[in-house]
Copies of this chain bind each other. A is one copy, B any other.
Amino acid sequence: MRIGELSKATDVPVPTIKYYLREGLLPAGELSSPNQASYDAVHVRRLRLIRALTELAQVPVAQVKEILESLDSDDIPLHEQIGRAHRALTPTRRLTTTPEARATAESQVAALITRRGWTIEPEAPALATLIDTIAAMETLGQPHLSSYLDAYAEAVEHFTQLDIEAVTTRPTRDQLAESVVIGTILGETLIASLRLLAQESISAQRWKNR
C-alpha cells in the first residue's frame, strides 16, 4: 500500500508517518518507483505499536526508538529486552520526601524482596519508584498503607503469573517480546481501571449514606 493508505489504515497522519520514517522508528517502505514507496502489514503493526508507546504510555520518541531497536535485535537476550522496555516504561514521577522516610522505606523494600525471594537488580528503576512511593505514604501521613505491602506483593505475584502466562502463548520470540511490551503498558491501564471500578462498586455498597 502507499503512504496515504497506510495513514488511513492506522489513523496516523502522513506527516507523522514521515517523521517516524526519518527518525528510523519505522522501517523504510519498498521502493516501487524512484519516488514512491510501498508499505505492508509489518508497517501497520509497527505504527500501532509506536502509537501505543507514545500515546498510551507517553514514552518519549527517543526511548521508543530504543525499545524498537531492542525488539528488532536478535542478539539481545529476551530478559535484557524486557528490562529495557521496563526502564522506558517506569514512571519517573517523584515526590520529595524526608530522608528519614526514605531510609525507612528502603529497608522495608529490601526486607520485602528478601521475604518474596525476588531476584532484583539494584539499579532497577521500579525499585526507586517503589521506595519513593512508600516514603511518600509516610510523608503524607498515611504510614498505615505500607503495612499492607506483603498483601499487595502477594496479589501482584498472582497478576504477574497471569502476565507471563498470557505472553508465553505467543509462537515466536519476536511476538513474545512485542507482547511483553504491549502487555506491560496496556496491562497497567487495565489493572488501574479495573481497580477504580471495583473501588467504586464497593464504595457504593459501603458508603452510600455516609
Contacts and interface: CB of A to CB of B under 8 A. Distances in A.
A195 B159 contact: yes
A45 B126 CA distance: 27
B77 A210 contact: yes
Interface of A is mostly: helix
A155 B159 contact: yes
B199 A192 contact: no
Interface in A163-210: 163-166, 169-170, 173, 179, 182-184, 186-210
| Highest count of chain B CB atoms <10 Å: which of A51, A90, A94, A133 | A133
Interface of A: 11, 45, 48-49, 51-52, 55-56, 58, 77-79, 82-83, 86, 89-91, 93-96, 113, 116, 118-121, 124-127, 129-130, 133-134, 136-137, 139-142, 144-145, 147-148, 151-153, 155-166, 169-170, 173, 179, 182-184, 186-210
